[in-house]
Chain A
Amino acid sequence: MARAVSTERKLVFTVIGWSIGLLMFFPILWTILTSFKTEAEAIASPPALFAFDWTMENYQAVQERSNYFRHFMNSVIVAFGSTFLGILIAVPAAWAMAFSPTRHTKNVLMWMLSTKMLPPVGVLVPIYLMFRDFSLLDTRTGLVIVLTLINLPIIVWMLYTYFKEIPVDILEAARMDGAGLAKEIIYVLTPMALPGVASTLLLNIILAWNEAFWTLNLTAAKAAPLTAFIASYSSPEGLFYAKLSAASTMAIAPILILGWFSQKQLVRGLTFGAVK
């Protein structure tokens, strides 16, 4: 707004804005706070907001108890692995569609996006059986394969849109300047596409980290990432809220931080260009 907004109006919205913000964020805040309480404090009534004895015992307990580290690494490997694999397959495809389009390009792209709309239960049974028969159940490899396939459409789509934003005449100028294909890619295309690739990487790592269908159904104790590990806390064992909070905080912290940087990518990647 080019016109000045009255301070009064600003203050009113500040109050409303912060109330809503804190309300939405409250569950996360509460989880983080609870992770520093003792189990007794965690279920104390009245519940304390900040005034309690802060302790690190839950973080210790979670680390010691249940191979938390191992599940964390599973999440890391599966999220990063599937995203990198996806990018490897997607970059040439997106490159070709962006720079050598044919009249089929649009249809191919839309078809790829449509595969993302398949409900996973539609293929739950055969995938489960195939994984069982090929000994892929409860393996990180198996998960990486599935997550690569379900995120591939989004990776291709996002890279395509970023590549399309590179003006063709800059690449042509490189060609006129004597650059062969390899040099054109190395010196001109890659530096210009890098931010887009990084954004795609970021969003898809987040989506893969948080995926909660295949990671729950195709894994057991060994390859379970954090999504499944946390799910195992679902049967009440009483007096474990603080530990649950510690485990949860550790599970969501990296993604919360990454997520805050990827808002724009979220819009681009998940609305398939329907919103500008």
Chain B
Amino acid sequence: MASHHTQTAARMMIAPAVLLLLGWMIVPLSMTLYFSFLRYNLLMPGMEEWAGFLNYRFFLTDPAFFAALLNTLLLVGGVLLITVIGGIGFALLLDQPFFGQGIVRLLVIAPFFVMPTVSALVWKNMFMNPVNGLFAWIAKALGLAPLDWLASVPLFSIIIIVAWQWLPFATLILLTALQSLDEEQKEASEMDGAGRTSRFIHIVLPHLSRAITVVILIQTIFLLSVFAEILVTTNGGPGTASTNITYLVYAQALLQFDVGGASAGGIVAVILANIVAIFLMRLIGKNLES
């Protein structure tokens, strides 16, 4: 396979993809970096001036930032908790033989394929609306006062919506990993006298640990950027109760037209994501070796 002209041909074939992605990385990112050091507001064009780390200082000392950071962590953490535990449960369930298992699997997977704006609106209007929503009807039927979910517990509501969407992903991954567990390992442990719970704790769970790590890392990367669900339900409110870093940057950029500030925020978001990405890349790298 190793003749000289195949190697040059190979390089030419990879070039477009590499160049495009390189451009996509370097150009906008360095522009963001550049803007973050400017005082630049779209409402006052032509008045940009060098601001050093001012934007960063403002951004990082803004109470909205801390609220957004906290909300981001809560959102990611909450969704991870629900999806990992739920995912393990669903995976164990779907691994069992029962009637109509194939169909149930499709039902469980479906939410992942619904576009985020539709999910969010369906939950907002048809379930969480305090007047017409289903939850309100259930509450009234039980004699309780209906809850205005998105006004009183906005972040929690969004966590529910996002978790609903990502539960299928976690389930699929964990189910795949579960089914790759060598049957003979389980049988060997049974011969060694392990009961069902023991088998789960000592054989199944360790085997799943890798997949669980993958689920956590990949979901975290995507969950840091939750946007549509917030835009369409609460617009980050009330106040900043459901604003995450992504929404905060968006608001600064496209609502307040503060290019400088938003750029600083964007860089902060990139740094946060990088921390997670480093761990994920190491895991992928190990797998590529094989």
Interface positions, chain B 6-28, Cβ under 8 Å from A, are: 6-7, 9-11, 13-14, 16-18, 20-21, 24-25, 27-28
Contact (Cβ within 8 A) B109 A251: no
Which of A95, A122, A212 is the most central at the interface, judged by chain B CB atoms within 10 Å of its CB? Answer: A122
CB contacts (< 8 Å) of B70 on chain A: these are none
- B269 vs chain A, min Cβ distance (A): 5
A248 at the interface (CB under 8 A from B): yes
- The residue from A92, A106, A119, A256 contacting B114, defined by CB atoms under 8 A apart: A256
Chain A interface size band reads 35 or more
Task: Choose among B14, B164, B177 the residue that contacts A275 (Cβ–Cβ < 8 A).
Answer: B177
Partner of B262, one of A120, A124, A156: A124
Inter-subunit contact A27/B127 (CB<8 Å): yes
The segment from B58-66, B75-83, B151-159, B247-255 found at the interface with A is: B247-255
B118 CB–A CB distance under 8 Å: yes
Stretch of A56-64, A183-191, A230-238 at the chain-chain interface: A230-238
B32 CB–A CB distance under 8 Å: yes
Cβ A227 vs Cβ B116 within 8 A: yes
Residue among B21, B116, B259 with the highest chain A CB neighbour number at 10 A: B21
Contact A117 B288 (CB under 8 A): no
> Residue B270 contacts which of A2, A42, A119 (CB distance < 8 angstroms)?
A119
B242 at the interface (CB under 8 A from A): no
Q: How far is the CB of A154 from chain B (nearest CB, A)?
A: 12
Interface string of A88-108 (1 = CB under 8 A from B): 011011011101101000101
> Does A36 make an interface contact (CB < 8 A)?
no
Which A-chain residue is minimally distant from B136 (CB atoms)? A45
Chain B CB within 10 A, most for which of A111, A248, A275: A275
Pick from A47, A227, A276: contact of B134, CB below 8 A: A47
Contact residues, A180-229 vs B (CB, 8 A): 206, 209-210, 212-213, 216-217, 226-228
Binds A, one of B46-54, B198-206, B225-233: B225-233
Q: Which residues 77-126 of B have a CB within 8 angstroms of A?
A: 90, 93-94, 96-101, 103-126
> Bound state CA distance, A55 and B25, in angstroms?
50
B273 located at the interface, meaning its Cβ lies under 8 Å from any Cβ of chain A in the complex: yes
* Cα A21 to Cα B111 with chains together (Å): 11
Main secondary structure of the interface of B (DSSP, over half): helix
Q: Cβ of B73 < 8 Å from any Cβ of A?
A: no
CB distance from A97 to the nearest CB of B (A): 7
Task: Flag whether B218 is at the interface (Cβ < 8 A).
Answer: yes
Interface: A270 (CB within 8 A): yes
CB distance from A203 to the nearest CB of B (A): 11
- Tell me if A274 and B214 are in contact (CB < 8 A): yes
How far, in whole Å, are A276 and B31 apart by their CA atoms in the complex? 39
Q: Which of B126, B164, B231 is A34 in contact with, Cβ under 8 Å?
A: B126
A-B contacts at CB below 8 angstroms, number:
315
Given the complex, which residues of B lie within 8 Å of A2, measured CB to CB?
183
Given B99, B124, B272, which contacts A10 in the complex, CB threshold below 8 Å?
A: B99
Task: Using CB atoms, name the residue of chain A closest to B186.
Answer: A1
Is A173 engaged at the interface, CB distance under 8 Å to the other chain? Answer: no
Asked if A72 is at the interface of the complex by the 8 Å CB criterion, the answer is: no
B254 touches A252 (CB 8 A): no
Interface residues of A in 28-43 (CB under 8 A from B): 28, 30-31, 34, 42-43
Our pick among A16, A28, A106, A272 for the contact of B93 (Cβ within 8 Å) is A16
What A residues does B134 contact at CB under 8 A?
Answer: 30, 47
Given contact pairs A125-B253, A126-B27, A153 touches B113 in the complex (Cβ within 8 A): no
One digit per residue, 1 when the CB lies within 8 angstroms of any chain A CB and 0 when it does not, for chain B 128-140 equals 0001101001001
A115 touches B125 (CB 8 A): no
B17 touches A112 (CB 8 A): yes
Q: A21-B108, A93-B14 are in contact. List 17 more A-B contacts (CB 8 A).
A: A13-B93, A22-B107, A28-B111, A90-B17, A97-B10, A110-B284, A110-B288, A117-B277, A119-B269, A124-B253, A125-B253, A212-B228, A227-B116, A231-B121, A234-B233, A244-B122, A271-B173
Residues of A within 8 A of B (CB): 1-2, 5, 9-11, 13-14, 16-18, 20-22, 24-25, 27-28, 30-31, 34, 42-43, 45-47, 89-90, 92-93, 95-97, 99-100, 102, 106, 108-115, 117-130, 149, 152-153, 156, 168, 206, 209-210, 212-213, 216-217, 226-228, 230-231, 233-234, 236, 241, 244-245, 248, 251-252, 255-256, 258-260, 263, 266-267, 270-276
A-B residue pairs in contact (CB < 8 Å), sample of 13: A5-B96, A11-B99, A13-B97, A24-B107, A27-B111, A119-B225, A119-B266, A119-B272, A122-B267, A124-B254, A209-B115, A234-B121, A272-B284
